[in-house]
Structure 1
Amino acid sequence: MNVPEFAAAQWTRATGTGVDPHEYRRVTDGLASVADWAPSFLHTGYGYLERAEQAGSSVSAGEHLLMAARWFHLATLAHDAEAQRAAIEADHALSRAFSVLEPGARRVSGEGFTGWLRGPADAPGTVIIIPGLDSAKEEFLDLASSLLARGLAVFAMDGPGQGVLTATTALRPDYEQVVGRAIDALEALGALGALGVERVGLVGLSLGGYFAARTAALEPRVATVATVSGPFRLDWEELPPPVRDIMARRAGGADAARDFAHHVDLAALAPRITAPLLVVDGGQDVIPGVTNGEPLVVLAPHGDYLSVPHGDHLLGNARADWLPRLVDHVTQTLRTGAPA
């Protein structure tokens, strides 16, 4: 894939992450090859670190650090030798940003997970944001902000094979065990509020949608769940080679990736999702070997489906069409137990 094709493929994902679209074009227009992707994005991220050092206020410094975290995360999308360094830089920048902007934010880590807990101690519920195949906690800061603005607490995490844990862990299908340990850790911190552990919500994006739906079927403490561009089923033989390559890197080899893909099938688990469920799909999100979320809604007892005809994968080109609806669904169901 040449640079214009690669940059176009990442366009709405990058802008959905929150980087300036004009700056994205300036950076990508200057690339001679995809091999230059990570170095150029890292360079842009370091530029924001310099701005943070020179900022005239702590708020400005924190905002520059958040932007650095976004650019460092996007540097990982080239999946080259620089990816792990970029993931570590993203994690460090995010940590520094929260230390400046939200001193009350807490790092919470355990076996197979790490992330940031943010929001009021008396929140009516806590939402766990679950990233996908090659995404990370730094990618969905705007989703977290929307949930926080509605009075909820948020735990944005990296799980096995994701984000800063990519180098030390491997992708695994039984993600519900990891989420269960994260819920245990949040409960031990007293972070689930006066309403108790049953007020936990999940939002899963891309492959994280599968993880969220699977967890909702197997973890009784989940009170509400939403998926965005989550697969209902994967067919390894039909998946495009770039997707299989990424999965092999994250799972620990081609055989492990093939086995993982064979586990991604929600047909048997969907009827066990008793929590209110919102499934969001983009009509333009067509990936060979991926069955999108509509069958999940059909099989789940309390499923609701939102299809945005012009939406692409992760619907970065249609945020106004789904983001408010999703955060309102999660907020309402955590507060009252009933969908909006």
Structure 2
Amino acid sequence: MNAAEYAAAQWARATGAGLDPHEYRRVTEGLESVADWGPAFRRTARGYVRRAENAGSHVSAGQHLLMAARWFHVATLGPYEGADRAEAGADDALARALALLEPDARRLSGAEFTGWLRGPADAPGTVIVVPGLDSAKEEFLDLAAALLERGLAVFAMDGPGQGALRATTTKRADYHHVIGQVIDALGATRVGLVGLSLGGYYAAETAALEPRVAATATVSGPFRLDWAELPQPVRDILVQRTGGAEAARAFTDQVDLAGLAARIEGPLLTVDGGQDVIPGVTNGEPLARLAPHGTYLSVPHGDHLLGNARPDWLPVLTDWITHALTG
């Protein structure tokens, strides 16, 4: 795949994460190969950091830093030896942005998670946003903003093999142990979960096994994975993030909700894009059908993560989980 094809393939995901489409085109049109992806996106991110340092107000500085965090993270989506540094840059930019824009935001970290708790201390509900295979807390800032606008508290996290922890941890399929640690740190008795891509599996697996989960939504989450059919780029990421080929196969074998769906006692919303067809990945319709209180939303023109269809699902999901948590 050449640079132009790769940029086209990442278009909806990158713009769905909040990158300006015109700037995205300007940056990617100058790429000679896919190997140039990471350096070009890091340069763009550093440009936003410089804008923040020269900004005329703390609001402008914070907004520039939020954009820097997005560009640093998207830099990691290409094959790039500096991906760990880019994720560290995203993490630092988000921290600096929140210090300016939301000084009451709290960093919470444990052995297998880190993230930011945002929103009012007396919020009527708390939602944990769970990223996926190669995503991170900086990719879903628009989702967090939509939940905050509805009065909820939000904990956007990185877990094993994700974001700020990608260089020091490896993925685990029994993710309910990780979210259990998060809920302990939050001091919560009940939470909502929104899981995106592989995070949808993590959220559903946790909802089946963690009684403090009151409501769950998944976006482009797999019901099951089949190693033999997965595209090579997906296999490569799994090998890298799990610690080796044998571990990647073992991880993939565990991603199967057939025996867990019926154990999800709370309300569940599963969102899929009709154009999201990845070999070896079973989408979320069986999960919604088998769960006792499942609802299925399919957006026919939506792709993976539905970055090309935000108005068709983001308000629905955020309203749904707000009502599920607050009545």
- TM class, shorter-length: over 0.9
Specify which of 257, 278, 291 is matched with residue 287 of structure 1.
278
Secondary structure at the residue paired with 1:140?
helix
Q: Are positions 1:106 and 2:97 aligned together? A: no
Paired AA for residue 208 in structure 2: A
Q: Normalized against structure 2, the TM-score is what?
A: 0.99
Paired AA for residue 2 in structure 2: N
Distance 1:80 1:58 in 2: 32
Identify the residue that residue 289 of structure 2 maps to in structure 1. Answer: 298
Specify which of 315, 318, 324 is matched with residue 327 of structure 1.
318
Identify the residue that residue 172 of structure 2 maps to in structure 1. Answer: 172
* Deviation (angstroms), 1:78: 1.0
Identify the residue that residue 309 of structure 2 maps to in structure 1. Answer: 318
- 8 Å Cα contact 2:37-2:80 kept in structure 1: no
Paired AA for residue 141 in structure 2: L
Distance 1:293 1:314 in 2: 12
- 8 Å Cα contact 1:232-1:296 kept in structure 2: yes
* Deviation (angstroms), 1:156: 0.1
Secondary structure at the residue paired with 2:137?
coil
- Note the alpha carbon deviations across 1:132-179, whole angstroms, 9 max, x for none: 000000000000000000000000000000001001000110110000
Secondary structure at the residue paired with 1:77?
coil
* Deviation (angstroms), 1:254: 1.0
Secondary structure at the residue paired with 1:10?
helix
Specify which of 248, 252, 256 is matched with residue 265 of structure 1.
256
* Deviation (angstroms), 1:80: 2.1
Identify the residue that residue 74 of structure 1 maps to in structure 2. Answer: 74
* Deviation (angstroms), 1:111: 1.6
Structure 1's unaligned 5+ residue stretches are none
Identify the residue that residue 184 of structure 1 maps to in structure 2. Answer: 184
Distance 1:5 1:259 in 2: 32
Paired AA for residue 71 in structure 2: W
Specify which of 231, 235, 240 is matched with residue 240 of structure 1.
231
Q: Are positions 1:145 and 2:151 aligned together? A: no
- 8 Å Cα contact 1:206-1:229 kept in structure 2: yes
Distance 1:124 1:41 in 2: 38
Identify the residue that residue 246 of structure 2 maps to in structure 1. Answer: 255
Identify the residue that residue 32 of structure 1 maps to in structure 2. Answer: 32
Q: Are positions 1:90 and 2:90 aligned together? A: yes
Identify the residue that residue 17 of structure 2 maps to in structure 1. Answer: 17
Distance 2:136 2:245 in 1: 22
- 8 Å Cα contact 2:35-2:79 kept in structure 1: no
Runs of 4+ with deviation above 6 angstroms: none
Distance 1:138 1:19 in 2: 12
Structure 2's unaligned 5+ residue stretches are none
Paired AA for residue 69 in structure 2: A
Secondary structure at the residue paired with 1:13?
helix
- 8 Å Cα contact 1:79-1:246 kept in structure 2: no
Specify which of 211, 217, 238 is matched with residue 208 of structure 2.
217
* Deviation (angstroms), 1:63: 0.2
Distance 1:298 1:61 in 2: 46
- 8 Å Cα contact 2:268-2:294 kept in structure 1: yes
* Deviation (angstroms), 1:5: 1.1
Distance 1:183 1:130 in 2: 13
* Deviation (angstroms), 1:79: 3.4
Distance 2:103 2:213 in 1: 28
Secondary structure at the residue paired with 2:278?
coil
Distance 1:146 1:297 in 2: 24
- Note the alpha carbon deviations across 1:224-243, whole angstroms, 9 max, x for none: 00000000000000000010
Write the mapping of 1:109-124 to structure 2, written as runs, cut at 5 A: 109-124=109-124
- Note the alpha carbon deviations across 1:284-314, whole angstroms, 9 max, x for none: 0000000000000111000000000000000
- 8 Å Cα contact 1:131-1:205 kept in structure 2: yes
Distance 1:215 1:132 in 2: 14
- 8 Å Cα contact 2:125-2:326 kept in structure 1: yes
- Note the alpha carbon deviations across 1:101-157, whole angstroms, 9 max, x for none: 000000000120000000001111100000000000000000000000000000000
* Deviation (angstroms), 1:4: 1.0
Distance 2:173 2:79 in 1: 21
- Note the alpha carbon deviations across 1:200-232, whole angstroms, 9 max, x for none: 000000000000000000000000000000000
- Note the alpha carbon deviations across 1:36-60, whole angstroms, 9 max, x for none: 1000000000000000011000000
Q: Normalized against structure 1, the TM-score is what?
A: 0.96
Distance 1:304 1:19 in 2: 31
